[in-house]
Amino acid sequence: MNGLLQDLRYALRQLLSSPGFAIVAVITLALGIGANTTIFSLVSGILLQPLPYARPSELVSVTGSYPRGGFVAMREQVHTMDVGTYAEGHDFNLTGLGEPVRLTGTMVSAELLSILGVRPELGRTFYPGEDAAGQDNYVVLSHVVWQQRFGSDKTIIGHSVQLEGVGRQVVGVMPAEFHFPSPKTQIWIPLHNDPRNQVDYWAGDYMPVIGRLRPGATIQQARAEIRMFQSHVGALFPWQMPASWNADVNAIPLQNGMVADVRTRLLLLLGAVVLVLMIACANVANLMLSRAATREKESGIRSALVAGRL
């Protein structure tokens, strides 16, 4: 400990004797280390941490997109996994509760929230069949909307609210940490699956599909079944679909599907900031060498006194 304290006192004296050098070295290393810490935290949160859903390894992303009619057919014909879909970015006017307010909502298939495995904070999510025409007048609230517009009223479950002039029964409130498919979503309502409206049923929103593997099923089996389904789903359309539509459809782990567009960019960015840190270390090393050259006489005296390099 005596030797350690002596070394610390010597290091402090050296820093105080050359404050400019010390400040430049600390700032150079701080910039390199800070950039690496920031980018690695980002990469870890997006690429390395598991998804915040129950048993995330069972979740699958189907790379194609389907209209309501195509999804309903998939839900009936695919047996290796339970499938759900969603259409985000829809706006709804909430009226009847003071000043009207515009809410951003996501339309979801009845099974989607259950497939993700997230329990609502209050009430329930949608039951199977509650996305069919005439049976879809329900809504699930986000935690923020429940707090801000309904004052965290726990008796809101079962009450009706007006969205776009349509009365919808509140059946659930999601947890504060649930933000699917993005933090912009404030409410979730069921899809309106109406085969009588061919334009909306077959040419409306083309939506991504998420699945959860059933017990005993593998992602390879799901991939083969999805490709088999794609080979004949075009015949269900009331018009001919181009051969290129979803021609390369695949089933991949959901986490891979969610970060596919940014994975390469994030890894390149991480490599770039690692290079920045290496340059910072090289710069500090060069500063040390330059400074050592000015202390050649001091080093000679130390050697004459048989002082070791450490």
What pLDDT, in 10s, does the model give residues 131-151?
999 999 999 999 999 999 999
Query: Model confidence over 239-261: pLDDT tens digits?
Result: 999 999 999 999 999 887 776 66
The bridge status of strand 101-108 relative to strand 187-190 is: parallel
Q: Map tokens 């259950």 to a residue.
A: 114
Strands (DSSP E) along the chain, which ranges? 59-66, 81-95, 101-108, 122-123, 138-141, 160-163, 166-173, 187-190, 207-213, 251-253
The DSSP result for the chain, as a single string, is -HHHHHHHHHHHHHHHH-HHHHHHHHHHHHHHHHHHHHHHHHHIIIIISPPSSSSGGGEEEEEEEE-HHHHHHHHHH--SEEEEEEEEEEEEEEESSSS-EEEEEEEE-TTHHHHHTPPPSEE--PPTTTTBTTS--EEEE-HHHHHHHHTT-GGGTT-EEEETTEEEEEEEE--TT--SS-TT--EEEE--B-TT-HHHHHHS--EEEEEEEPTT--HHHHHHHHHHHHHHHGGGSSSPPPTTTTTT--EEEHHHHHHTTTHHHHHHHHHHHHHHHHHHHHHHHHHHHHHHHTTHHHHHHHHHTT----
For the chain, percent of residues with pLDDT exceeding 90: 58
Is the model's pLDDT at 292 over the cut of 80? no
State the pLDDT at residue 261. 65
pLDDT tens readout for residues 29-49? 888 898 888 888 888 776 767
Residues of the chain with pLDDT > 70, as a percent, come to: 97
Residue 287 scores a pLDDT above 90: no
CA dihedral 211→64→141→166, nearest 10 degrees, is: -120
Mean pLDDT of the chain: 89
Region for 122 from its dihedrals, namely left if φ exceeds 0, alpha if ψ lies in -120 to 50, beta otherwise: beta
Where are the domains positioned within the chain?
A: 2-49+268-304, 56-260
Q: How confident is the model at residue 28 (pLDDT cuts 50, 70, 90)?
A: confident
pLDDT digits (tens, 9 = 90+) for 159-169: 999 999 899 99
Two tokens at 177? 């940490």
Name the band, by pLDDT with cuts 50, 70 and 90, for residue 294. confident
The one-letter amino acid code at 78 reads: V
The whole-angstrom separation of Cα 239 and Cα 143 is 42
- Mean per-residue pLDDT for 83-96? 93
Residue 11: pLDDT band with limits 50, 70, 90: confident
pTM value is: 0.74
Is residue 116 a contact partner of residue 56, using CB atoms and an 8 Å limit? no
Q: Which amino acid is at 4?
A: L
Give how far Cα 58 sits from Cα of 18, 149, 190, 252, Å: 59, 35, 23, 10
Distance, CA of 141 to CA of 170 (rounded, Å): 7
Backbone phi, then psi, for 4, in 5-degree steps? Answer: -65, -45
Indicate the Cα dihedral angle 103, 106, 110, 116, nearest 10°.
-120
